[in-house]
Amino acid sequence: MSWTNYHSHTNFCDGKYPPNYYATEAFRQKFVAYGFSSHAPVPFECKWCMKEDSIDKYFTEIQKLKDRWEGKLQLYYGLEVDYIPGIMGVKNPFIQDLNLDYSIGSVHFVEAMADGTRWEIDGAHSTFLQGLKEIFGNNIQRAVTQYYEQIRQMVVEDKPSVIGHLDKIKMQNQFTPLFNENADWYQEEVFKTLQTIASSGLIMEVNTRGLYKKRAVETYPGKWVLEQAFKLGIPVTVSSDAHHPKEIAGFFTEALSLLGDIGYQHIHVLLDGVWKPVSFNENGIVS
């Protein structure tokens, strides 16, 4: 049995250590493949994104690790690319020219505040509340609806390899109850988004970061969303969104057990340069 993980952040963005620390830990934990996905640069101030002038060094370091671990551990370079309509996405020529092994498409930024600051759906709660008031007049339904509309737009127009942490906006509920996941309007938005993903054939990530960081009581997305995804035949992959080497397999056993209980018999992994379905149990993948 072994592991894979394709969502991780190093010190090239907001991760804690250089890439070699993660590769070494992945080998120690018997991973068969590991992917680096630093936050791609964006054309505005972002404290957690990679700087554009660091891109070449990022790829050079990972290529050296690929060579060093060849035959022992498959390593891949990717980026987590923010989808911001008209501004950034996987189809952006800058991203296309990088010839990534894979991409994770995520929505972190929705609209902007009066001073031009982009509103983050998973940033500080105070900033979230400020944007909710300034941009949406404290109408959480409007804000959440626009978030899911932007994800659907990303799926249709950008087509990343993997859809990142689908319902991460729910993390804001841990501080102040803002919306009810059982509300009809919310479930309709999620289901429309899942239908769009199903039609695209793209892979959806099951992200465990909220669990080990205690920012959520379940994965992104959670159980009821994954149950609907299973019914729609949406392929999934499991990643930890690691920012520290110790997090690279955080709550994987729980996530894989959940998927098995729902009915999934395969998860998708990037092996030998190709995304493919593999069998799994709670102890890892059967490759």
Domains observed in the chain = 3-286 (3.20.20.140)
Return d(Cα 137, Cα 216) in angstroms, integer.
26
Tell me how crowded residue 49 is: count the other CB atoms within 10 A of its CB: 22
Percent of the chain with pLDDT over 70: 100
Task: Assign 5 a pLDDT band (cuts: 50, 70, 90).
Answer: very high
**pLDDT tens digit string along 20-68?**
999 999 999 999 999 999 999 999 999 999 999 999 999 999 999 999 9
Which residues have a Cβ under 8 Å from the Cβ of 70 and sit 6 or more positions away?
Answer: none
Claim: this prediction has a pTM higher than 0.95? yes
Tell me phi and psi for residue 21, to 5 degrees.
-65, -40
pLDDT, mean of residues 212-229: 97
Residue by residue, DSSP assigns 189-231 as HHHHHHHHHHHHT-EEEEE-HHHHTTS-SS-BS-HHHHHHHHH
